[in-house]
Amino acid sequence: GEDVEQSLFLSVREGDSSVINCTYTDSSSTYLYWYKQEPGAGLQLLTYIFSNMDMKQDQRLTVLLNKKDKHLSLRIADTQTGDSAIYFCAESSLSGSARQLTFGSGTQLTVLP
């Protein structure tokens, strides 16, 4: 079945850039998503990219997609303490069933002062 892999932890200094990486296995993925989960809260959609795009930029966020390698990354520029959270990568497949939104294990981002 589909599988989404992420590293579990990342620490960066405030003001530096953060890069969170994700790999997936389903070559028919149509959309790839980044969700953010703050402590004690539900997940919130940060950004998404359609599979025919290589890059999407939204303010401090840059999403890069390498479809050949099935690799997705999220870059956060000028990381702030408020960016500390768990970031989940997710994919949806072309089969069209909305249930096939497969999430990774999440990357805990810690921003150090």
Partner 1 sequence: GAGVSQSPSNKVTEKGKDVELRCDPISGHTALYWYRQSLGQGLEFLIYFQGNSAPDKSGLPSDRFSAERTGGSVSTLTIQRTQQEDSAVYLCASSSRGLTNTGELFFGEGSRLTVL
Query: Considering the rule CB under 8 A, would residue 30 count as an interface residue with partner 1?
Result: yes
Tokens 């870059």 correspond to 75
Site string for partner 1, 46-85 (x = CB under 8 A): --x-------------------------------------
Residue 44 binds partner 1, judged by CB under 8 A: yes
- CB-wise, 3 or 78, nearer to partner 1? 3
By CB atoms closer than 10 A (0-12, 13-18, 19+), residue 18 is buried
CA pair distance 23, 90, nearest whole angstrom: 10
Q: Which of 15, 27, 5, 14 is nearest to 73 (CA)?
A: 5
Smallest distance, partner 1 to C-beta of residue 87, A: 12
99 forms part of the interface with partner 1 (CB under 8 A):
yes
Judge whether 107 and 4 are in contact, CB under 8 Å: no
Among 19, 45, 77, 112, binds partner 1 (CB under 8 A): 45
